[in-house]
Structure 1
Amino acid sequence: MNVRTLCLSILYEGEATGYEIRRLSVEGESSYFVEASYGSIYPALAKLEDDGLVSSRIEPQDGKPARKVYSITDAGREEFVAALHEPLAEEVFRSPFLLFARFAHLLPCELVRSRLEDQLNKTIEKKKRLIDLLEERTTSASDAWVISYGRAIMAVAEQHMRTHMHELITLARSEPAKKDAAE
């Protein structure tokens, strides 16, 4: 899935500004699908508008610059459904935490322990947010399925860390790494 399809998916649910699309793709319910920057969202919206798949209107705001609000057209709805028929790309998973874990043997034990505890807490918080999301709002059956899938992944990650964090801590250095002699 690309940014163009992500924009259509968000607009399929209702009107939005480019800023709102970015917020939903970073911290909202669409943050699990595709990473999208302002630098990719606005060109995608411009192209979608040129292609007649979205329309926009300027909405004045008191004491602020006017905002551009985008809506999906009937052709955009058809295009979005057609895009869902396309073969799926490989899932992408990147984790700075896993890079850290890979090299835990180079790091002091207390740093490894601290980062593991932080990561465990973040995982628990993500799982809680997904549980709260199910409880806070009415969702479609497919939304509930997607949220439950995410919750299950967070539960497995939490269990793995709880069960195996001692292994990484054991691999870590028992004392802080010595500073380079040149320092």
Structure 2
Amino acid sequence: MNVKTLCLSILYEGEATGYEIRRLCVEGECAYFVEASFGSIYPALARLESEGLVSSRTELQAGKPAKKVYAITAAGRAAFIEQLSAPLADDMFRSPFLLFARFAHILPRELVEERANEFLERMVAGQKKLEDAAAERELSPADNWILNYGRAVMEVAQGHIRSHMHELISLAQAEPRKDAAE
């Protein structure tokens, strides 16, 4: 799934500004699908508009700069359905924590324990954020299915960290390396 498809998915549900699309992609319900930034969203919207898949209008705002509001076209709806019908790419999972864990053996135990606990706390906070977002609005059956999938993944990941954190910590060095600062 690319940023253009992600933009179409958001506009399929209703009109939005580039800022609103970015917010949904970074901290909202679409943050779990594809990584998207302002630097990728606005060029994607421009391409979609030039291809006739979205349209835009400018809305004036009192005391603020005008905003550009995007809407999906009939051709955009058809293109979105076509893109969803294509074979799916493999899921991508990236984790700075897993890179850290991969090299736990060269780090001091205290640091590994601290980072593992921080990671677990962030996972718990992420799950709470997911629950809070779900409580803010009524979910469609599809949104509820996705939420339950997210819950299951988070619960398994947290369970693994909790029950195996000691193994990761035991891989770490008892003392900091003397040559680490060199």
Measure, in 1, the Cα distance between the counterparts of 2:180 and 2:98: 25
What value does the CA root-mean-square deviation take over the aligned residues?
A: 1.4
1:9-44, Cα deviation, whole Å (9 max, x unpaired): 011111111111111111110011111122221121
Amino acid at match of 2:170: T
CA offset at residue 129 of structure 1?
1.9
1:148-179, Cα deviation, whole Å (9 max, x unpaired): 10111010000000000000111111112214
Give the equivalent residue in structure 1 for 2:169: 169
1:52-101, Cα deviation, whole Å (9 max, x unpaired): 21110111122222111101112211211111101001111110000000
Measure, in 2, the Cα distance between the counterparts of 1:180 and 1:37: 35
Give the equivalent residue in structure 2 for 1:46: 46
Measure, in 2, the Cα distance between the counterparts of 1:60 and 1:11: 20
Higher mean C-alpha displacement, 14-23 vs 96-105: 14-23
Give the equivalent residue in structure 1 for 2:82: 82
Q: Unmatched 5+ residue regions in structure 2?
A: none
Measure, in 2, the Cα distance between the counterparts of 1:13 and 1:103: 43
TM-score, normalised via structure 2 length:
0.95
Measure, in 2, the Cα distance between the counterparts of 1:178 and 1:78: 61
Measure, in 2, the Cα distance between the counterparts of 1:56 and 1:136: 29
The sequence identity of aligned pairs, in percent, is 65
The 5 Å alignment of 1:135-154 reads 135-154=135-154
Helix, strand or coil: the match of 1:90?
A: coil
Helix, strand or coil: the match of 2:32?
A: coil
Q: Unmatched 5+ residue regions in structure 1?
A: none
Measure, in 2, the Cα distance between the counterparts of 1:19 and 1:130: 21
- Alignment CA distance shift 1:174-1:180 (3 Å): closer
Moved over 6 A (4+): none
Q: Tell me if 1:70 matches 2:70.
A: yes
- Alignment CA distance shift 1:165-1:65 (3 Å): same
Helix, strand or coil: the match of 2:34?
A: coil
Helix, strand or coil: the match of 1:33?
A: coil
Measure, in 1, the Cα distance between the counterparts of 2:134 and 2:31: 16
Helix, strand or coil: the match of 1:70?
A: strand
Q: Tell me if 1:15 matches 2:15.
A: yes
Measure, in 1, the Cα distance between the counterparts of 2:177 and 2:60: 58
